[in-house]
Amino acid sequence: MTAQVVPFGLSRPHAENAVHRLAKQNKFGMAEASQFELKMLERGFDMRQVLETIKEGVVNQGPSKDEYGEWRCRVKRRVAGRLVRVAVAISSDLTFLTLLSVH
Write the pLDDT tens digit of every residue in 54-76.
Answer: 999 999 998 999 999 999 999 99
DSSP assigned state of 19: H
Report the distance separating Cα 4 and Cα 80, nearest Å.
Answer: 46
Mean pLDDT over each residue of the chain, to the nearest integer: 91
Instruction: Quote the pLDDT of residue 46.
Output: 94
pLDDT at 6 over 90: no
pTM of the model: 0.87
Q: Which fold has domain 12-102?
A: YaeB-like fold (3.30.2310)
| Residue-wise DSSP of 31-76 | TTHHHHHHHHHHTT--HHHHHHHHHH-EEEEEEEE-TTSPEEEEEE
**What is the arithmetic mean of pLDDT over 73-95?**
96
pLDDT at 29 over 70: yes
Backbone angles phi, psi at 27, to 5 degrees: -105, 65
- Closest by CA position to 100, among listed 28, 41, 46: 28
